[in-house]
Amino acid sequence: MANIKKIGVFTSGGDSPGMNAAIRSVVRTCAYLNVECVGIYWGYQGMIKGDFKLMNARSVHNIINKGGTILKTARCEEFRTKEGRKKAYDQLQAAGIDAFVVIGGDGSFTGAMIFNQEFGFPVIGIPGTIDNDIFGTTFTLGFDTALNTVVEAIDKIRDTASSHNRLFFVEVMGRDVGHIALNAGVGAGAEEILIPEENLGRERLLESLKRSRSSGKSSSIVIVAEGDKTGKNIFELKEYVEANFPDYEVRVSVLGHMQRGGAPSCYDRVLASRMGVRAVEALLEGKTNLMVGVQDNQLILTPINKAIKGHTKIDKELIRVSEIMST
């Protein structure tokens, strides 16, 4: 049986909406269960430096609806070394921290897993990333919010696209996976959605745009995931289409970092609150090296090594829906 009296919590890697709600949940669950809770600033970097602060239920007042992370976040090279991890361990020991909850993506989880293997230190992960690319959970924290941010931006772009009968290429986040592109593309009513998992070629894109125009559509939105390989990049794709389809005015918009921020959606707030409770409970039950996920609207625990190695697959049904919708 575990004897956990003080739990650390931190965020790591790229930030995502809902991280603050998850921090709040971890802190308040600790308070509720009479366990001490320590905020670790700047992720693994702050762990190495001992950048710790004791937190109570009031420390996380009014943050459930704030984007970003009050504990800050960073990527940390030093933690990739044995020496770095040893320093971190010493700091945790010195501060009396018995276990930690890490909120982040697969890089952050890999660090936690190795740390656990080396020092037997209890760790639980909460998947915080807008990319939805973590195995073992249907949704990651921040994905739902990012989708809303993207469709709201594209709704605005569509106003100007349809006023001018223009074609817009809109780049959204997703270096390796097309979940944001595919879902936001369907949600925004995009004509075409280009994702890293599929490369149907730029000729097919051109054909599709021509067919769409001749069917009476006056304006079009094409969503392009960052990591898509149809063109070298979105700007060259634009040039290709302009060169081969001259009667269409083409514009490019790269949505960029605003996709990471903003007040989390209700869904992300609730999911974060639930996951924080489960993470603390799991540690107190003596569990370790697991990630909290959601499946069929129930919380589940997955071994971190599976969460990292598994691959999320693009949804074939949704690709088909997107094709039908652009009829």
Q: Which of 4, 8, 9, 24 binds its own copies (CB under 8 A)?
A: 24
- The answer on whether 142 is annotated among ligand-binding residues is no
Phi-psi region of 289 (alpha: psi -120 to 50; beta: other; left: phi over 0): left
- The answer on whether 247 is annotated among ligand-binding residues is no
Quote the CA–CA distance of 147 and 323 in Å, as a whole number: 19
Q: Which of 53, 82, 86, 156 binds its own copies (CB under 8 A)?
A: 156
Q: Which of 5, 82, 164, 309 binds its own copies (CB under 8 A)?
A: 164
Strand order in the sheet with 290-295: 52-55, 36-40, 6-11, 99-104, 123-127, 290-295, 298-303
- Calculate ∠ Cα 302-304-306, nearest 5°: 75
The yes or no reply on residue 157 touching its own copies (CB under 8 A) is yes
Q: Are 23 and 16 in contact, with CB atoms under 8 Å apart?
A: no
Residue 242, Cβ neighbours under 10 Å: how many?
13
The yes or no reply on residue 293 touching its own copies (CB under 8 A) is no
Closest CB to its own copies among 88 and 172? Answer: 172
The yes or no reply on residue 269 touching its own copies (CB under 8 A) is yes
Q: Which of 6, 49, 78, 165 binds its own copies (CB under 8 A)?
A: 165
Quote the CA–CA distance of 162 and 327 in Å, as a whole number: 17
Query: Any residues with CB less than 8 A from the CB of 66 and at least 6 apart, and which?
Result: 20, 263
Catalytic residue among 15, 131, 144, 268: 131
Mark the segment that binds its own copies (CB under 8 A) among 85-93, 102-110, 239-247, 251-259: 251-259
Q: Which of 110, 138, 233, 305 binds its own copies (CB under 8 A)?
A: 138
* Residue 165: both structure tokens together: 């009968």
- Calculate ∠ Cα 282-288-290, nearest 5°: 85
Q: Which of 90, 160, 176, 204 binds its own copies (CB under 8 A)?
A: 160
The yes or no reply on residue 299 touching its own copies (CB under 8 A) is yes
Q: Smallest distance, Å, CB 179 to its own copies?
A: 11
The yes or no reply on residue 93 touching its own copies (CB under 8 A) is no
| Alpha-carbon separation of residue 162 from 89, 150, 192, 249, 326 (angstroms) | 57, 18, 16, 12, 15
Q: Is 131 a residue of the active site?
A: yes
CA 228 from centroid of its chain's CA atoms: 18
Binding residues for its own copies restricted to 166-205, rule: CB under 8 A: 168, 183-184, 186-189
Binding mask 58-87 for its own copies (x = CB under 8 A): x---x-xxxxxx--xxx-------------
Binding positions for substrate are 129-131, 166, 173-175, 226, 251, 257-260
Residues annotated catalytic, as ranges: 131
Binding positions for Mg(2+) are 106
